[in-house]
Chains A and B, each alone.
Chain A
Amino acid sequence: MDRRAEIAIIGSGVTGLSTAYSLVRRGTRDIVVLESGNLAQGASTRNGGGIRAQFTTDENILLAKWSIERFRRLAGELKANFWFRQGGYLFLAETEDELAQLKKAAEFQARHGLGTRVLDNTAVTDIVPCLDTRRFIGGSFRQGDGVLFPFPLLFGYAEHLRARGVKIETHCEVKAIRRTGQGFELSTSRGPLLAAKLLVAAGGWSAQVSSALGANIPSHPVRHQIMASEPLAPFLEPMVVTLKDGFYISQGPRGELIGGIAEPEEGPKSYTRSGFDFARLMSERIVSLCPRMSGVRMLRQWGGFYDVSPDANPILDRVPGAEGAFVACGFSGHGFMISPAVGEIMACMLVGERPPFSPEPYRLSRFDSGGVKHEGLVIG
């Protein structure tokens, strides 16, 4: 057997690749990334590209703030233009309760210096004039949030890593994992591989992959759909989100509207299947919020997984009972925006360094103690 690596990463999504990037920055290059399909075929190339620090827990705000700073530098470091545009995130409230929730969040975020502003309808339509003011009573806005285009970031990571000796093997599914004296033996669809250390970064498949190590990871995949319209001249600077129904919409770099909406959770389903219910729900919402959009045409819709954890916050930890194996999953629909910080934390765990953030809040043990604080601003 000749395939070996110091570190094997299962999953070529943004979590796996940003961890590899942080490892390479630390001088570790003996890394193999294993991907069952084509490069980053999971949630990472199916998402809305929304990047925000407007959260309701210290933990998420810290990770997001750090990540936004990294995103600002990353285009230059990777030589990849992924169109990071800090046009802000605009949350809309329809009821007094929702507005109170946004006010509370803004006050909390002020402690982190985020500068979130609470707005009345006039101020909202100063930012996005086409919105129908009968549909909301106010909102909150933070300029430093924004959107990016995921594909060039992922392909940029991949090329940067490959140029530095990292192997990224696509169409190479990990089917079984065996612990050996020195680490792990992975059975893959392209033959066995030995690795001293292991990271499970398999998105919605993470619990399943971890079960091969005998571990029980409490996250599960939930299908979420998303759509794109035909391209339009630029008119929408921020990402617009409604609190009531998890609706979000932004304008991408090609001028297309990109957005989704929460749907009733329906149990396991093949994630590639798109449904007409979503197209109607989404269209109704777009037309009600912005009647002028009714003539704009939807071009395509698709689906992907949120990997949902019990408190909607990430699970970043050792795999219990498997020394040398780690897991990063449970991102619950906001794993892209915090991926630079997550990569940094996981790289530190893998090489035994102290991470820049305390990993305590992300450990599995939080679910035993029962003291979990659910993230209040989950979208979609």
Chain B
Amino acid sequence: MVVVKRFVCMCEDVTVDELRSVIRRGYADIEEVKRITGIGTGPCQGKQCLHLLRKILSEETGVPMKDVPTTTLRPPVVPVPFGQLAAVEDDREGR
């Protein structure tokens, strides 16, 4: 037996089949797909997978690619160590 798994999101282990089945269960909204599967919320923060997700959403729902939104981008855009964030000086007055 050959097991074929095509991964879209390497950080959160989300496959093409999983995405299609979630969308077919009625979750056609990109934020819902994100919350159900975790896609785009791992260390790369969607930089590798979001476009593929939008393409699959477009194929499944018939909505043109340009009209499929992206998910909300969350800061920090790249992962930043706590130690580095903590060391930023607070230069505003009155603190």
B75 within 8 A of A: yes
A254 touches B86 (CB 8 A): no
Chain A residues within 8 Å of B76, by CB: 279, 298-301
A171 to B31, alpha carbons, bound, how many Å? Answer: 12
* In the complex with contacts A297-B81, A297-B82, A301-B74, A151-B36 CB distance below 8 A: yes
* In the complex with contacts A151-B35, A272-B72, A301-B74, A230-B85 CB distance below 8 A: no
Q: A41-B31, A295-B83, A298-B81 are in contact. List 17 more A-B contacts (CB 8 A).
A: A152-B36, A155-B27, A155-B32, A155-B35, A159-B25, A228-B41, A272-B72, A274-B75, A280-B90, A283-B84, A284-B86, A287-B83, A288-B86, A294-B82, A294-B86, A298-B82, A301-B76
Chain A residues within 8 Å of B80, by CB: 279, 297-298
B75 touches A280 (CB 8 A): no
A139 to B88, alpha carbons, bound, how many Å? Answer: 30
Interchain nearest-CB distance for A276 vs B (Å): 7
Chain B residues within 8 Å of A284, by CB: 85-86
Interchain nearest-CB distance for A169 vs B (Å): 12
Number of interface residues of A (CB under 8 A): 38
Binding site for B on A (CB under 8 A): 37-39, 41, 45, 151-152, 155, 159, 162, 170-171, 228-231, 254, 272, 274, 276, 279-280, 282-284, 286-288, 293-302
B29 within 8 A of A: yes
The proximity string for B residues 52-95 relative to A, scoring 1 for CB distances below 8 Å and 0 otherwise, is: 00000000000000000000101110011111111010100000
A254 touches B38 (CB 8 A): yes
Interchain nearest-CB distance for B94 vs A (Å): 11
Interface residue ranges of B14-31 to A (CB < 8 Å): 25-27, 29, 31
Interface residues on B, range: 20 to 34
Report which of A39, A171, A299 forms a contact with B79, defined as CB distance below 8 A: A299
Chain B residues within 8 Å of A288, by CB: 86
Interchain nearest-CB distance for A128 vs B (Å): 17
A302 to B75, alpha carbons, bound, how many Å? Answer: 8
B74 touches A286 (CB 8 A): no
Q: Which of B12, B29, B35, B42 counts the most chain A CB atoms within 10 A? A: B35
B72 touches A283 (CB 8 A): no
11 intermolecular pairs with C-beta atoms under 8 Å apart: A152-B36, A274-B75, A279-B76, A279-B85, A284-B86, A286-B82, A293-B82, A297-B82, A298-B82, A299-B45, A300-B75
A274 touches B74 (CB 8 A): yes
Interchain nearest-CB distance for A312 vs B (Å): 27
Chain A residues within 8 Å of B81, by CB: 294-298
B31 touches A287 (CB 8 A): no
Chain A residues within 8 Å of B84, by CB: 283
